[in-house]
Amino acid sequence: MAGLTLIEGGHVVTVDADGTEFPKGYVAIRDNRIVEVGAGAASSQLRDAAAQRYDARGALVTPGLINTHHHLYQWLTRGWAQDSILFDWLVALYPTWARVNAGTVGAGAAGAMATLARSGCTTVGDHHYIFPRGSGDILGAIAYEASEIGVRAHLTRGSMDLGASQGGLPPDFAVETTEEALRASEDAVLHLHDRAPDSMLQIAIAPCSPFSVTTDLLRESAQLARQLDVRLHTHGSETVEEEAFCRERFGMGPTDYLESVGWLGPDVWMAHCVHLDDADIAKFAATGTGVAHCPSSNARLAAGIAPVRSMLDAGVAVGLGVDGAASNEDGTLGSEIRQAALVSRLRDGATAMPGRDALRVATMGGARVLGREKELGSLEPGKLADIVVWDLGSVEHAGIADPVAALTLGSLPTVRTMLVQGREVVTDGRLARTDEESIASRVREAVADLTNV
Q: What is the pLDDT of residues 414-423, one digit of tens each?
A: 999 999 999 9
Provide the pLDDT confidence category of residue 130 given band limits of 50, 70 and 90. very high
Across 333-339, average pLDDT: 98
pLDDT tens digits along 70-95 = 999 999 999 999 999 999 999 999 99
Q: What length does the chain have?
A: 453
Using DSSP, state whether 9 is helix, strand or coil: strand
- In contact, 262 and 219? CB cutoff 8 Å: yes
Provide the pLDDT confidence category of residue 453 given band limits of 50, 70 and 90. low
Q: Say yes or no: 192 and 181 in one domain.
A: yes
| Residue 74's CATH number | 3.20.20.140
What count of other Cβ atoms lies within 10 Å of the Cβ of residue 241? 15
Q: Say yes or no: 160 and 213 in one domain.
A: yes
Tell me: pLDDT of 165 over 60.
yes
The verdict on residue 130 lying in a domain is yes
Tell me: pLDDT of 63 over 70.
yes
Across 252-261, average pLDDT: 98
Q: Say yes or no: 238 and 280 in one domain.
A: yes
Q: Determine what percent of the chain falls in helix, strand and coil, rounding each to the nearest 5.
A: 40, 20, 40
Q: Say yes or no: 244 and 197 in one domain.
A: yes
**Distance of CA 105 to CAs 6, 108, 262, 325, 420, Å?**
37, 5, 31, 13, 23
Tell me: pLDDT of 2 over 90.
no
Give the pLDDT confidence score for residue 68 in this predicted structure: 98
The verdict on residue 234 lying in a domain is yes
Q: Say yes or no: 194 and 170 in one domain.
A: yes
Q: Say yes or no: 196 and 318 in one domain.
A: yes
Across 49-66, average pLDDT: 97
CA–CA gap between residue 136 and residue 133 (Å, rounded): 8
Tell me: pLDDT of 145 over 90.
yes
Q: Which of 369, 397, 422 corresponds to the end of one domain?
A: 369
Give the pLDDT confidence score for residue 277 in this predicted structure: 98
Q: Say yes or no: 93 and 57 in one domain.
A: no
Give the pLDDT confidence score for residue 452 in this predicted structure: 83
Q: Say yes or no: 123 and 266 in one domain.
A: yes
DSSP per-residue codes, 144-164: HHHHHHT-EEEEEEEE----G
Across 338-355, average pLDDT: 98
Q: Say yes or no: 278 and 153 in one domain.
A: yes
The verdict on residue 378 lying in a domain is no
Apex CA 204: angle with CA 200 and CA 206, to 5°? 145
Q: Say yes or no: 223 and 286 in one domain.
A: yes
Residue 414 CA, distance from chain mean position: 20
CA–CA gap between residue 58 and residue 43 (Å, rounded): 20
What 8-state DSSP symbol labels residue 164?
A: G
| % of the chain with per-residue pLDDT over 70 | 99
How many distinct structural domains can be found in the chain?
2
pLDDT tens digits along 187-209 = 999 999 999 999 999 999 999 99
- CA neighbours closer than 13 Å in the CB half-sphere of residue 294: 34
Give the pLDDT confidence score for residue 3 in this predicted structure: 79
- In contact, 311 and 353? CB cutoff 8 Å: no
| E strand or H helix at 55 | strand 50-55
- In contact, 296 and 332? CB cutoff 8 Å: no
Nearest by Cα to 236 from 254, 221, 218: 254
- In contact, 398 and 348? CB cutoff 8 Å: no
The verdict on residue 448 lying in a domain is no
What 8-state DSSP symbol labels residue 357?
A: H
Provide the pLDDT confidence category of residue 1 given band limits of 50, 70 and 90. very low
Across 133-140, average pLDDT: 96
Provide the pLDDT confidence category of residue 317 given band limits of 50, 70 and 90. very high
Nearest by Cα to 419 from 88, 14, 40, 54: 54
**Distance of CA 255 to CAs 215, 307, 313, 319, 321, Å?**
14, 15, 19, 18, 20
The verdict on residue 298 lying in a domain is yes
Apex CA 354: angle with CA 348 and CA 360, to 5°? 115
Q: Which of 329, 344, 369 corresponds to the end of one domain?
A: 369
The verdict on residue 445 lying in a domain is no
Q: Say yes or no: 147 and 231 in one domain.
A: yes
Using DSSP, state whether 444 is helix, strand or coil: helix
Tell me: pLDDT of 325 over 60.
yes
The verdict on residue 209 lying in a domain is yes
Q: Say yes or no: 167 and 106 in one domain.
A: yes
| Residue 393's CATH number | 2.30.40.10
Is the pTM value of this prediction over 0.95? Answer: yes
The verdict on residue 180 lying in a domain is yes
CA dihedral over 302, 368, 186, 72, signed as positive or negative: positive
- In contact, 129 and 94? CB cutoff 8 Å: no
Angle between helices 436-451 and 102-118 (to 10 degrees): 140
Tell me: pLDDT of 212 over 80.
yes
The domain of 33 spans 4-63+383-431
